[in-house]
Amino acid sequence: MTGLRAKQKADRNRRILEAAASLFREVGYDSARIEDIAERAEVSVGTFYNYYENKGDILVATVSMEVEEVLESGKAIVENPPPTTLEALQVLIDQYFDHSLVYLSKEMWRTAMATSIQQPESPFSRRYTELDGRLCDQVSMLVQKLQLRGAVMPGIDAVAVGQMVFNNLNMMFLEFVKDEAMTLETLKERVARQNRPLAVLISSPKIQ
């Protein structure tokens, strides 16, 4: 078994993904036609559909790569967070937000989110959802870390708090990408305001 078939498959998959990602960046999601993506990847339109269920799918795949990077960069913060609860949460969240528009436009985010909602059973949507779950876990882990350090009161359900913080920032991010006029700064400020009450309440009195 030489694996020639597997090698060709992986190569085609990479070419299609790269072709799509570059075209999306150049002309935007809507203007990039499957025919164009297929041509740049040097495959036929039919082959494109052998690798991705539909157009939205390949965008979700692109976004997934981006989220992987964000997860990686968040790891460092969770391992060695700032002392106070509010600060620690904010540093992690700002990191997420700052990363979000490096490779992707708001339009691309909108389409990716919409696709992953509309076709939750497609493989790449599952992957996107799974990555979302890992981001959520990362926030929960930060809260747990702070609890171990004594910055967060014992007895608090760190996982529940982490999920709530994550769900909140996720919705705020959604509002952000829906509004072309909103700046990253505005987003950060709003999330900071919303986190403050919870962060203060769960913090140990002596640290506060």
Partner DNA sequence: CTTAAAAAATGAACTCATTCAATCTTTTTT
Partner DNA sequence: AAAAAAGATTGAATGAGTTCATTTTTTAAG
Binding site for a copy of itself (CB under 8 A): 110-111, 113-118, 120, 129, 156-157, 160-161, 163-164, 167-168, 170-172, 174, 177-179, 193-198, 201-202
Name the residue nearer to a copy of itself (CB basis): 121 or 185: 121
Shortest separation between residue 40's beta carbon and DNA, angstroms? 13
| Closer by beta carbon to a copy of itself, 78 or else 161 | 161
Instruction: Provide the minimum distance between the beta carbon of 8 and DNA in the complex, in angstroms, as a whole number.
Output: 6
If one asks whether residue 33 binds DNA (CB under 7 A), the answer comes out as yes
For the chain, how far is it from start to end, CA to CA, in angstroms? Answer: 63
Query: Does 155 engage in binding with DNA (CB under 7 A)?
Result: no
Contact 136, 84 (CB under 8 A): no
CB of 43 or CB of 109, closer to a copy of itself: 109
Q: How far is Cα 35 from Cα 140, in angstroms, rounded to an integer?
A: 43
Q: For a copy of itself, which is the closer residue by CB, 38 or 122?
A: 122
CB closer to DNA, 23 vs 202:
23
Cα(176)–Cα(174) distance, rounded to whole angstroms? 5
Long-range Cβ pairs for the range 199-204 (8 Å, 24+):
199/85, 199/86, 199/89, 200/85, 200/86, 202/85, 202/143, 202/152, 202/153, 202/156, 202/161, 203/84, 203/85, 203/86, 203/151, 203/152, 203/153, 204/150, 204/151, 204/152, 204/153
The least CB distance from residue 1 to DNA, in Å, is 5
Taking CB under 7 A as the criterion, the residue among 17, 19, 21, 43 binding DNA is 43
The nearest distance, CB 121 to DNA, in angstroms, is 13
Is residue 22 involved in binding DNA (CB under 7 A)?
no
The pair phi, psi for residue 80, each rounded to 5°, is -145, 75
Instruction: Please identify, using beta-carbon distances, which residue of 122 and 195 lies nearer to DNA.
Output: 122
Lookup: tokens for 204: 């140990």
Nearest approach in angstroms of CB 128 to DNA is 16
For residues 99 and 66, the answer to whether their CB atoms sit within 8 Å is: yes
Residues that bind DNA (CB under 7 A): 1-6, 8-9, 12, 31-35, 43-47, 49-51, 53-56
